[in-house]
Amino acid sequence: MTPVNHTDVHEFILLGLTTHPDLQVPLFLVFLSMYTVTLLGNFGLIALIRTDLHLHTPMYYFLGHLAFVDICYSSIILPRMLVQMLMEDKTIGFSECAAQLCFFVVFGITECLLLAVMAYDRYVAICKPLLYPTTMCRATCRWLVAASYTISIMHAVTHTTFIFTSSFCRTYVINHYFCDIAPLLALSCSDTHTYELVILALVSINCLSTLTIIFVSYIYILPAILRIHSPQSRRKAFSTCASHLTVVTMFYGAILFTYLRPSSTYALDENKVATLFYTIMTPMMNPLVYSLRNREVKAALRRVAGRRL
């Protein structure tokens, strides 16, 4: 196929999850329901954290930012996806596609970093409780959140600049439901071998470094929890850590499956299913996991409900 400079590309065509017309309306209803639950759950969690004074702690400060990231993460993808399910026009502009990829990377990497920060916060709270107020002071918490956003923006600019300054082939059909790295690379006529190595390196550094922080934190956390004498305090610590580990498992499992593979093993239809888990399922499930498994959040919900009644 004839390569085309990026300046000649004005739009792409998103195939979506499926090309079967009979499935469009049922899928629209399913994903509309999921998006509604995502928005209600995460906005509700943010409102709960802001209104209940018992949740004005570093952990829930980070959890509030995680909920905000989940709202942005799903809103980058789902509204356009829902509209295109009901319309014949499946096109997305070149600039809009670049912006979607950029923000997708920003909020995806921010979520990874926030999950690592939350693991470190639990380590300090459980293993070094006397140092917790000074170690995780307000300034430190703000610095950690700001650093997470800054690092993710640097990653996003790197990926977006490389992909959208390369040459594309005459076909502009993206076999995906949003502008992701793998399907865009499949359209490129440029030599992407070096960039694929860069992706592998960046994703490996980001995932492995954050997973290492989480893993090492819990190596110290779990024995410390078992040494707690009070059954109530032990249950509270376990419920908080179980919520966090559940979210980590869901999010990282799909990301590692999708990106830490050589390009020769890419199956774009397979990747569509995998990306559903961390782009749509995880943002929807996070507030539910923290509400149902976290004793402090459930207590806060009861307090707020009691005041309303």
pLDDT tens figures, 265-294: 455 566 677 778 878 888 888 888 877 666
How large a percentage of the chain has pLDDT more than 70?
Answer: 88
Average pLDDT over residues 19-43: 89
Predicted local confidence at residue 84, as pLDDT: 86
pLDDT in tens, 34-70: 999 999 999 999 998 888 888 888 988 999 999 999 9
Structural contact between residues 234 and 225, judged by C-beta atoms closer than 8 angstroms: yes
CB atoms within 10 A of CB 198: 14
The larger pLDDT score, comparing residue 81 to residue 2, is at 81
Could you give the CA distance from residue 265 to residue 95 in angstroms, rounded to a whole number? 29
Predicted local confidence at residue 264, as pLDDT: 44
Ranges of each domain in the chain = 6-308
Average pLDDT over residues 25-29: 89
How large a percentage of the chain has pLDDT more than 90?
Answer: 27
CA angle, 260 as apex, 257 and 263 as ends, to 5°?
105
Predicted local confidence at residue 171, as pLDDT: 65
Predicted local confidence at residue 62, as pLDDT: 93
CA angle, 120 as apex, 117 and 122 as ends, to 5°?
110
Predicted local confidence at residue 302, as pLDDT: 79
| 91: enclosing H helix or E strand | strand 91-93
1.20.1070.10, 3.30.200.20, 3.40.50.10160, 3.40.1230.10: which CATH number matches 6-308? 1.20.1070.10
Across 146-155, 162-171, 280-289, least confident range: 162-171
Predicted local confidence at residue 248, as pLDDT: 85
Predicted local confidence at residue 268, as pLDDT: 58
Answer whether residue 143 shows pLDDT above 90.
yes
Could you give the CA distance from residue 56 to residue 280 in angstroms, rounded to a whole number? 28
DSSP state, 188? B
Predicted local confidence at residue 270, as pLDDT: 65
The larger pLDDT score, comparing residue 120 to residue 192, is at 120
- Model confidence, pTM: 0.86
Side by side, the strands of the sheet bearing 173-174 are 91-93, 11-14, 173-174
Average pLDDT over residues 209-228: 88
